[in-house]
């Protein structure tokens, strides 16, 4: 059994850590963005699971795929995956994930905002791009979208380049790319945050808390699901 597990587990590279930061949202709240650990995946799965039933803005497919991706990471069935979380006073308000395809290329997976209306998703996506370009030192990131909101936020807002010859792991629309040039052109207006984290924020963000399921559904769907 142990020998089979060694075959089934992909080799992992040691990826540089994402240095945590905080972002002041439009609401005035301070959101900490930090890297999640594999040990924290069970609580992330608990957070994502209820969204599989939310059809609004394609949350259902995004949540289902993110759940599988996080589970694959936890079970050592995906190579070089990472997850960044957004936390307000320790409460999870969003997450993003992706992986390193090679030293030069990154792959964006998904972005889930659990609080809407204050650009949680946009800030987390920008943090993900920051991780790929500035901390992993990659040249480009392959991106697709599953919702009109995602297409406007990523493809249009960043002016992403088309990559019709690239088959993205998620399928769907043709791949788009965020290059280093596009990233640094957008950095001044889209990539924000302050480092280092003040001690009080770091302490509050050390453990992930979740809102109640009914509250979560209302936050993303606008009303409780029937």
The pTM score is: 0.95
Domains of the chain: 2-10+18-219 (3.40.630.30)
- Residue pLDDT, tens place only, 188-222: 999 999 999 999 999 999 999 999 999 999 999 98
- Residues 2-15, mean pLDDT to the nearest whole number: 90
What integer pLDDT is reported at residue 73 of this predicted model? 98
- Residue pLDDT, tens place only, 93-138: 999 999 999 999 999 999 999 999 999 999 999 999 999 999 999 9
CA distance 111 to 120: 10
What integer pLDDT is reported at residue 225 of this predicted model? 47
In the predicted structure, residue 165 carries a pLDDT above the cut 80: yes
For CA atoms 115, 204, 202, 17, the dihedral sign is negative
- Residue pLDDT, tens place only, 80-93: 999 999 999 999 99
Q: What 8-state DSSP symbol labels residue 206?
A: S
In the predicted structure, residue 140 carries a pLDDT above the cut 90: yes
Nearest 5°: phi and psi at 141?
Answer: -125, 130
What integer pLDDT is reported at residue 223 of this predicted model? 63
């Amino acid at each position: 059994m142990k020998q089979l597990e060694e075959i089934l587990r992909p080799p992992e590279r040691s990826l540089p850590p994402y240095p945590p930061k905080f972002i002041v949202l439009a609401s005035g709240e301070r959101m900490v963005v930090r890297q999640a650990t594999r040990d924290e995946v069970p609580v992330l799965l608990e957070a994502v699971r209820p969204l599989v039933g939310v059809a609004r803005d394609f949350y259902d497919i995004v949540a289902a795929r993110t759940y599988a991706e996080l589970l694959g990471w936890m079970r050592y069935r995906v190579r070089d995956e990472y997850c960044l979380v957004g936390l307000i006073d320790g409460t999870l308000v969003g997450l993003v994930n992706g992986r390193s395809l090679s030293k030069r290329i990154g792959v964006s997976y998904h972005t889930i905002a659990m609080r809407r209306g204050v650009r949680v998703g946009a800030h987390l996506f920008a943090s993900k791009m920051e991780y790929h370009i500035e901390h992993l030192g990659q040249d480009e990131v392959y991106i697709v979208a599953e919702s009109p909101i995602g297409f406007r936020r990523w493809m249009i807002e960043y002016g992403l380049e088309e990559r019709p010859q690239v088959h993205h792991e998620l399928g769907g629309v043709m791949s788009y790319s965020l290059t280093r040039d596009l990233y640094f052109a957008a950095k001044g207006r889209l990539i924000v945050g302050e480092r280092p984290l003040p001690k009080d924020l770091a302490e509050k963000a050390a453990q992930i808390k979740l809102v109640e399921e009914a509250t979560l559904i209302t936050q993303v769907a606008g009303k409780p699901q029937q």
